[in-house]
Amino acid sequence: MQSSLFAVLALLVLTAVGFLIGRRRAVAAGSGRASRLHSLPNYYGYYLALWTGLPAFVLLALYGLFGASLVNTLALGELEREAAPLIREYEAQLARDDQYQALAEETQQIEAEALSARNEMFRAEREGGDAERYLRALGALTAQRNEIAAERQVRRDQVASSVAARAPRTIPGVRARAGFEYWRAPSERRELFIADARALAFNEGLASRNTEEIRAAALALRPWEDLFRWSAAGVALALSVAGLAYARTRIRASFRARDRVEGVVGLALMMTSAIAILTTLGIVFSLLFESIRFFASIDWRIHEFLFGLHWSPQIAIRADQVGQSGAFGAVPLFAGTALITLIAMLVAAPIGLMAAIYLSEYASPRLRAWAKPALEILAGVPTVVYGFFALLTVGPFLRQFAMMLGYEDAVTQSALSAGLVMGVMIIPFVSSLSDDVINAVPQTLRDGSYAMGATKSETVRHVVFPAALPGIVGALLLAVSRAVGETMIVVMAAGQGANLTANPLESVTTITVQIVMLLTGDQEFDSPKTLSAFALGLVLFVMTLILNIIALRVVQRFRERYE
Amino acid sequence: MTLDFPIDNPPTRYHPLTTQLPIKVATEDVSVRYGGKLALEDVTLEIPDRAVTACIGPSGCGKSTFLRCVNRMNDTIDTARVSGSIRIDSEEVNGRDVDPVVLRARVGMVFQKPNPFPKSIYENVAYGPRIHGLAETKAELDHIVETSLIKAGLWAEVADRLHHPGTSLSGGQQQRLVIARAIAVNPEVILMDEPCSALDPIATARIEELIDEMRENYSLIIVTHSMAQAARVSQMTAFFHLGKLVEYGPTEEIFTNPLDQRTQDYITGRFG
Amino acid sequence: MNNAPTIRDAVQARLAKRHRAEMRFQFYGLAAISAAVLFLAVLLGSIIIQSIPAFTAHRLVLDVEIRPEIADPRGDGSEASLRRGSYNTLIQNSLRDQFPEAGSVGELRELFGLYSAVNAARLLNEVVNNPEVLGETLPFSLPISDDADLYLKGLTTDEEFLPGAAPLTLEPGMDDALTLRSQTGAPVFDVFLDLVQARQDAALDQARIRAERTAARAAEELDTDTRNSLEAEAQRARDLVQALQEARSDTGPVRLNSQTASLMLRAQGGVLRINALARDGLSAEGTWLVGPDTASQTAQDWSLWVIETPSIARRITDRQIVWARTLKERGLIKNGLNTTLFTNADSREPELAGVAGALAGSILTMVITMLLAVPIGVGAAIYLEEFAPKNRLTDFIEVNINNLAAVPSIVFGLLGLAVFINLFGFPRSAPLVGGMVLALMTLPTVIISARAALKAVPPSIREAALGVGASRTQAVFHHVLPLAMPGILTGSIIGLAQALGETAPLLMIGMVAFIADPPTLGLSGFTEPATVMPVQIYIWSSSAERAFEARTAAAILALLTLLVSFNAVAIYLRRRFERRW
Ligand SMILES: Nc1ncnc2c1ncn2[C@@H]1O[C@H](COP(=O)(O)OP(=O)(O)OP(=O)(O)O)[C@@H](O)[C@H]1O
Ligand SMILES: [Mg+2]
């Protein structure tokens, strides 16, 4: 920490020195008269400062971002290599272990059965058979498999501890054991292992465990960390000095310092706008990559994912489940999303639209001065607040109301309460977009209609509305995309049960709810369960992207028409 | 522009022949204010039936404002305040019991820029009859649309594409479509605010012809910036200046023998 | 005109109808606006009302004797020894002194349930900081448990106080029990018996209706599984009806239990709990929960204290209720402003939970978001508006930015998880990553508003600058940018306000963890686990404790206040520097 702070300070000083030298030299080169120079003396200063500071700071930034993970990889890689004999021994023992091998075979068998159960289930879904039966069978198989997996894990742990116990209690022995433990750990445990080791090595917070192995890992981390830290600082300083020396030689009266400096500025600006593209690329590739891994883990049964009727990613009930082979039919999620979106749009479209029409065609300036900010406040309320409102006020109220009407099974978390509240959230969105669109309809059209003797509402309904229709459709599509992607309200108010129902009083689940459920709480990386969240994310992204593109196109066309 | 008129302008000068024709619209001391700004001041004139009356005058002198008084289009502007009396067939337009909706069915209006609705040609013309409920059956409506288009001289050009959007027509055709739309409710007075200013000479000529034909059936008031057009199509001319009606009389008289120096200057193109 | 009169008639004929349609349409519009405003009012109103209980809290102030043998086990007064002291025992002793009657382990557990043991840590710190207090008696103030607090606020329990009708005799009976008898022969307890009776009748009616309804539904149900479960339910309801009927016809004494209301009797400065009542309302049996001042056999002045909510339906026991109220009457529990809510970080105990940690997390996250989104966004806007050639690539970037603005926020969270955490190995739950994710999310908003601000600067300014020989860069940075700055700032603040209220993407990168220590407001805080205000609201709203409900609402108000002040600054900037060209 201190050394990097020192390096940063040194670099800052060097950069300032570079600036001063550049200016001084420029003045000297112009023999004291600025007019002989191509650019103002300050530009020569900036030029030198850029050469002195920029490459070095980029290097330091890279080190800051990736230094720690590089050190971890190298240090633990070293330990893992030293653990090679232990690993070999462990694998050999497992291969010789009949009990373990029998369990492995059994697992394979069960997986084959689960596969055929899944096939049957999907067929039954398509052909109208008893899919539930296969779902239950699948659940039983998965539980069985997980039980065996747990047994295998126990066996593996036994073998591992006997192997580890054979390592000598010397320093190389402990190092090998540390590497072995790290090698065996699943990825989330690896993270913890590293975090603990770093905590011990560099006083970064408190370690959750303090074992011999972790201490060994901490000791292994230190030299690498020192090496990187010092070399990063050293290389940065060297770069800086070299840049200074090089740029200094280039300063002449005729040197176009301003063009160079502005070139760098232009480049930097261009890079900032490239970030927008990088973000999109990042989204597309990360979602695609993880989705591909998900589809691979369910044997490329993409059609099952898209058209399957059963969603139950965590079918097994055991706590120590290792990986699951749940049912990943996302249709209930799509249906839930559609149901809630529909309810939300049924609320938001008429209210938002009528509010926009009233505000732009009828309202007095006084009313506008009150109503517009009110709508803006409604738009600025965070969605988590809407979720709270839906959960604690609207949900219970609707439940009471439904029970009063004689519907006994009413629940607090229902599609209706989430949809209603989401509709309220979208009202200002619809109204402000349609307000823009309605205001873009030329006044001459209205005048034409009034001059024919039409009343205001006739003008609005027969002239303004048809003229604004494309824009309004665009606005509504954007609102739909908003509703589809909305998360917190549904997470809090719609429930989690993957019910395939059209009854708004039941609880349903949506794409976004499932993404949150799958990725919060304890998660294992690389399990189909976790990866399926990314596949859902991909579906969500593609859906909203299509909606957005169509909507933006339509609105664009509309605007061009009345430009 | 330089003003070389006396500060205390004389009141409107009327030419002697003014009242020979039957009167359709009569205004008395009509003034219009937009907020605090006086845009039209004490306009008193009588507009004949079955004739074309042209309003001329430099930009901003209140011609459009005057026109919009006749069908109470100024009601749609929050800040506009109209005073004075306007009578159509001796019926007070600004009366409390007069519904602008009914009034506007009697007084059609055509604007500077053609403004067909984003609907088909047919629907554009059928708009007025539909909202006012003038046709009981589809056949009646078809008939109204057809006769209106014929009267507007557009039928031959659009008969085979009545259901194309009105905006797909050329500018001149659009303006005639708008005229057809206005006459579809069989108004008594038609107001035209610079109906040809957005058109090329050929389209302008067609509209002028049309205006001349329409004189048979309607009382027309048109605003124009073209002296030649006023001279060609109108029987009466009113010259406005700075919100005041300066001179009013038969077109021939105004153009050959203006009574006021300002009219003289304007029609000879010395300002404006 | 030829047919003018007929047309005027036709118009006139439809006029009334058309005007009615007009009124209707206007009414719909007004109704829509009113609905939106009403929703806003209900939303804010319900949150404000829900939040009210959170702003005050009952605190218990005890005189705690810092007994050296407990606080300083090694007896050397060293910090190490003091840290090993058992401070909760000190608090417990002090509380026991108040209620010597509480003897059994169960009773003591209930007594100590009036506060959370976590409070002892504060006492420890106090003693470690001033070791000279050893052996002295300190006033120590601690928030009482959320359930007791809610009870004292009258939110969870219905109760009623009835004056005693006639003098009572108190006769010692079996064990600790006393028999209470009306001296005058007036049925002094029948008020309560009526209540029990009414309650039983209501329960009976309800059970009957349920039995009938479920049986009817079972008869209609086609699915076998559902029918069986409905039938089982109907049977249970019938059994209940039977049991209740038997209880009604019983003539023995009425026994009070966890299903019935509880009855306390206050006499002689103490509180008795009634365990059973004779049907005639003349006598009852009870035990002292809070001992009397005097040991007299008769009680002239006494009153009944009916706790109508049965103890099974509340999270606070009879004893705790009596103790809490007694402590309040003794002036040891006081209601005051709930400062904990704003000074503490999260806690599993609602009475100790606060938003300070989340606030610190929000500040750290927002700093990162601001440092990234504003310069990058403004840079991109400058490039696109002032430098970029108009070609396919810049068109693509433009479309891209507009699309990004409409991508659901949760997708940005997935991006952060996959790229920043899994690929780059940045720490989970850290404000650094949260800020980066929110910055990417806010970027389109900043770019779009900054471009609008730049566009609003008239070209004449650029031309003037270029005309005197400035380069493009100089023209932009010296002349255009300063003029566009207010607009850019306004847009950026609005974008940041959005980010401040955002929850979903932060859940993806693990900022949903329970964080009991607020992150340090410094450089190292950026990589420590933290949570932010909206996520804290989410966490609390999914907690089971009833007391979190009000605290969630209060946290929402705090967040809304922050957002309103952000927007107020933006509006002020817009007004102050608004320029029309
Ligand atoms: N809606 C309005 N609000 C305020 N002032 C207006 C409005 N409409 C017109 N005016 C003002 O009233 C005066 C008369 O305007 P009007 O449109 O009648 O002029 P005009 O003679 O039609 O001009 P032009 O020949 O340019 O069309 C002008 O000074 C104008 O600025
Ligand atoms: Mg005009």
| Strand-strand pairing, C254-255 and C270-277 | antiparallel
Confidence (pLDDT) at A318? 41
Rounded-to-integer distance, Cα C100 and Cα C323, Å: 12
B20-78 pLDDT per residue, tens: 678 899 999 999 999 889 999 999 999 999 999 999 999 999 999 999 999 999 988 88
ipTM surpasses 0.85 = yes
Kindly report the number of other CB atoms within 10 A of residue C272's CB atom. Answer: 28
pLDDT band for A477, please (50, 70, 90 cuts): very high
CA distance B242 to B41: 9
pLDDT at A317: 42
Q: Which residues of B touch A450 (CB under 8 A)?
A: 73, 76, 104
CB contact under 8 A, A451 and B113: no
Pairwise CA distance, residues C171 & C498, whole Å: 70
Q: Look-up: residue for tokens 């010789």?
A: A96
Q: Rounded to an integer, what is the distance from CA A244 to the centroid of its chain?
A: 41
Which position has the token pair 């839906």? A390
CB atoms closer than 10 angstroms to residue A554: 20
pLDDT at C5: 64
- Local confidence band at A316 (pLDDT 50, 70, 90 cut-offs): very low
Residues near ligand 1 (Cβ within 6 A): B 34, 37, 39, 59-65, 77, 79
CATH no., domain A326-561: 1.10.3720.10
When pLDDT is cut at 50, 70 and 90, the band that residue B220 belongs to is: very high
3-state DSSP call for residue A406? coil
- CB < 8 Å to A458, chain B: 131
Q: Quick one: tokens of C311? A: 């103890």
Residue B9 has a pLDDT of 55
- Has residue B255 got a pLDDT over 70? yes
Same domain, C82 and C181: no
Please report whether residue C481 resides in a domain. Answer: yes
C540 plus C516 within the same structural domain: yes
Angle between helix A257-297 and C392-405 (nearest 10): 50
Distance from CA of B49 to the nearest CA of C (A): 10
Look at residues C212, C64, C56 and name the one whose alpha carbon lies nearest to residue C143: C56
pLDDT of residue C426: 85
Give the span between the Cα atoms of A41 and A27, in whole angstroms: 6
Give the least confident one: A1-15, A86-100, B233-247. Answer: A1-15
Does C444 contact chain A (CB < 8 Å)? Answer: yes
- The CA-based diameter of chain A, rounded to the nearest angstrom, is 101
Give the rounded percent of residues in chain C with a pLDDT score beyond 70.
98
| Residues in CB range of C266: below 8 A, 6 or more apart | C272, C302, C303, C305
Closest-CA distance of chain A to residue C230, Å: 12
What does the pLDDT read at residue A314? 66
Strands B91-92, C302-307: parallel, antiparallel or unpaired by DSSP? unpaired
Residue A212: count of CB within 10 angstroms of its CB: 12
Q: Which of residues 116-155 of B touch C (CB under 8 A)?
A: 131-134
Q: Do A445 and A463 form a contact (C-beta atoms < 8 A)?
A: yes
Domain count, chain C: 4
Q: Which of A132-136, C383-387, C465-469 has the lowest mean pLDDT?
A: A132-136
| Among candidates A353, A385, A492 on the partner chain, residue whose Cβ is nearest the Cβ of C556 | A385
pLDDT over 50 at C122, yes or no: yes
pLDDT digit string, tens, across residues A100-112: 888 888 888 888 8
End-to-end CA distance of chain B: 7
pLDDT confidence of residue A132? 77
Q: Does residue C22 sit within a domain?
A: yes
The residue type found at B200 is D
Q: What is the mean pLDDT of chain C?
A: 88
What whole-number distance in Å separates Cα of residue A351 and Cα of residue B87?
43
pLDDT above 60: residue B7: no
User: What is the tens place of the pLDDT at every residue in A482-494?
Assistant: 999 999 999 999 8
**Residue B1, helix vs strand vs coil:** coil
Show the tokens assigned to B167: 């905006």
Residues in chain C closer than 8 A to A389 (CB atoms): 43, 46-47
Q: Binning pLDDT at 50, 70 and 90, where does residue A357 land?
A: very high
Nearest to A446 by CA among A472, A433, A465: A465
- In a shared domain, residues C242 and C362: no
Q: What band does C580 get if pLDDT is binned at 50, 70 and 90? A: low
Among residues of chain A, what percentage have pLDDT more than 90?
36
Q: Tell me which of A452-456, A472-476, C246-250, C487-491 is least confident.
A: C246-250
Instruction: Please check whether residue C322 lies inside any domain of the structure.
Output: no
> What's the per-residue H, E or C state across C386-444?
HHCCCCHHHHHHHHHHHHHHCCCHHHHHHHHHHHHHHHCCCCCCCHHHHHHHHHHHHHH
Residue B149 pLDDT grade (very low, low, confident, very high; cuts 50, 70, 90): very high
> What's the rounded mean pLDDT across residues C429-443?
95
In single-letter form, the type of residue at position C295 comes to A
CA angle (B44 as vertex; B43, B48 as ends), nearest 5:
120
- C274 inside domain: yes
Residue with the larger pLDDT of the pair A26 and C140: C140
Give Cα separations from A59 to A4, C148, C256 (angstroms): 12, 59, 77
Whose CA is closest to A556, among B165, B118, C407, C398? C398
Count CB-CB contacts under 10 A for residue A557: 12
pLDDT at C540: 94
How many CB atoms lie under 10 A from the CB of residue A219?
A: 18
Distance CA A218, CA A211 (A): 11
Are the Cβ atoms of C415 and A286 closer than 8 angstroms?
yes
Residue A320 has pLDDT above 80, yes or no: no
Task: Answer yes or no: is pLDDT of A36 > 80.
Answer: no
pLDDT over 90 at C371, yes or no: yes
pLDDT of residue C579: 65
CA of C228 to the centre of ligand 2 (A): 83
Distance CA B175, CA B192 (A): 11
Distances (CA, A) of C544 to A139, A230, A361, C152, C541: 30, 51, 48, 20, 8
Domain that holds residue C100: 60-142
φ, ψ at C456 (rounded to 5°): -75, -15
Sequence-ordered list of residues with C-beta below 8 angstroms from that of A385, at least 6 positions apart, any chain: C43, C47, C501, C537, C556, C559, C560
User: Is C42 inside a domain boundary?
Assistant: yes
Residue C344 lies in a domain: no
Token digits of residue A147: 């039980």
Average pLDDT, chain A: 87
pTM given for the model: 0.88
Domain ranges of chain B: 2-267
Q: What was the pLDDT predicted at C517?
A: 80
Note the pLDDT of residue B15. 76
Q: Which CATH architecture has domain B2-267?
A: 3-Layer(aba) Sandwich (3.40)
- The residue among B237 and A254 whose pLDDT is bigger is B237
Q: Confidence class of residue A319 from pLDDT cuts 50, 70 and 90?
A: very low
Quick one: pLDDT at residue B3? 40
Q: Which amino acid is at C242?
A: Q
pLDDT of residue B5: 44
Q: Which pLDDT does position C24 carry in this prediction?
A: 96
Q: Which of C94, C110, C142 is at the close of a domain?
A: C142
The gap between the terminal CA atoms of chain C, to the nearest Å, is 53
Listed residue (A265, A281, A391, A200) closest to C440, CA to CA: A281
Higher pLDDT, B16 or C204: C204
H or E, element range at C302: strand C302-307
CATH, residue C515: 1.10.3720.10
Rounded to the nearest whole angstrom, what is the distance from the C-alpha of residue B191 to the centroid of ligand 2?
Answer: 12
Domain ranges of chain A: 2-72+230-274, 326-561
| C419/C547 same-domain check | yes
Determine the Cα–Cα distance for residues A534 and B200; give it in Å rounded to an integer: 62
The answer to whether the CB atoms of C11 and B102 lie below 8 A apart is yes
Assess whether C206 and C301 both reside in one domain.
Answer: yes
pLDDT one-digit tens code per residue, C289-334: 888 887 778 888 888 898 988 888 888 999 999 999 999 999 999 9
Q: Which of chain B's residues have a Cβ under 8 Å away from the Cβ of A446?
A: 76
Residues C182, C165: Cα–Cα separation, whole Å: 9
- Whole-number Å distance, alpha carbon B59 to ligand 1 midpoint, is 8
Per-residue confidence (pLDDT) for residue B10, from 0 to 100: 60
In this predicted structure, the answer to whether residue A554 has a pLDDT above a threshold of 70 is yes
- Residues C227 and C302 occupy one common structural domain: yes
- Phi first, then psi, for residue A275 (nearest 5°) are -60, -35
User: Does residue C343 belong to any structural domain of this protein?
Assistant: no
